A and B are shown apart, each in its own frame.
Chain A
Amino acid sequence: AQSVTQLDSQVPVFEEAPVELRCNYSSSVSVYLFWYVQYPNQGLQLLLKYLSGSTLVESINGFEAEFNKSQTSFHLRKPSVHISDTAEYFCAVTGSGGYQKVTFGTGTKLQVIP
């Protein structure tokens, strides 16, 4: 069994300030980890993923996340947010050994304040 915890349901932050969205997971097997973003009235889009290799992964729009196996975390960070980053962010986990379903967190709404 696997689970994902996103403790923060909403995170307000001023434009150009840094932000961290927290994600912790539990799993009895090795995992693959994902962050998805959902803009208003749209479906989810993949933001970044960790499958193997470097534990620090980056997206094309400046977000990064670090896989920390000892702390079972995959927090999402951005050093300077823009208004356009206002969206809901979902952390997700799946087992790495063969087919397993993906489990999503409950989401964190990032509100960027001008």
Chain B
Amino acid sequence: DVKVTQSSRYLVKRTGEKVFLECVQDMDHENMFWYRQDPGLGLRLIYFSYDVKMKEKGDIPEGYSVSREKKERFSLILESASTNQTSMYLCASSSDRAYEQYFGPGTRLTVT
């Protein structure tokens, strides 16, 4: 079974803090994704990567950055957390160029 793990299920941070969300997949997938999920808005793509050290902006990249130093790991960074970044963050991976995605359990981030 494909497994995508995320470093935390719940996280509480203060405004202005630098926040790291980690994602690891164990199926040697080329592609990895970060989404945020908000009620009524569905999933919105923040960043994705289809190779090590490669990254592409998604639909809502502002206020975020990413890092992919190894194929299995994709990190989402909030440089200076703000309250409007309170959300559920979902990581996903895929092979075959983003056809079928496998999701982690999510990190619920609260910024106070």
Q: Interface residues, chain A, CB within 8 Å of chain B?
A: 6, 9, 32, 34, 36, 41-46, 49, 51, 90, 94, 98-102, 104-107
Contacts and interface: CB of A to CB of B under 8 A. Distances in A.
Interface centre among A9, A41, A43, A99 (most CB of B within 10 A): A43
A34 B103 CA distance: 14
B61 interface: no
Given A32-B99, A43-B106, A99 B42 contact: no
B74 interface: no
Nearest to B103: A43
Please report whether the interface of chain A is mostly helix, strand, loop or mixed according to DSSP. loop
A46 B100 contact: yes
Contacts of A51: 99
B32 interface: no
A34 B100 contact: yes
Interface of B: 4, 35, 40-45, 48, 50, 58, 90, 92, 97-106
Contacts of B90: 43-44
Given A99-B50, A101-B48, A101-B58, A49 B42 contact: no
B101 A90 contact: no
Contact of A99 (B4, B40, B98, B102): B98
Contacts of B45: 101-102
A100 B106 contact: no
B66 to A, nearest CB: 15
Contacts of A106: 40-42
Contacts of B41: 106
Contacts of B103: 36, 43-45
B30 to A, nearest CB: 10
14 contacts: A32-B99, A42-B105, A44-B43, A49-B100, A94-B98, A94-B99, A99-B50, A99-B98, A101-B48, A101-B58, A104-B42, A104-B43, A106-B40, A107-B42
Nearest to B35: A104
Given A46-B101, A104-B35, 9 more contacts: A42-B105, A43-B92, A43-B104, A43-B105, A49-B100, A94-B99, A99-B98, A102-B101, A104-B42
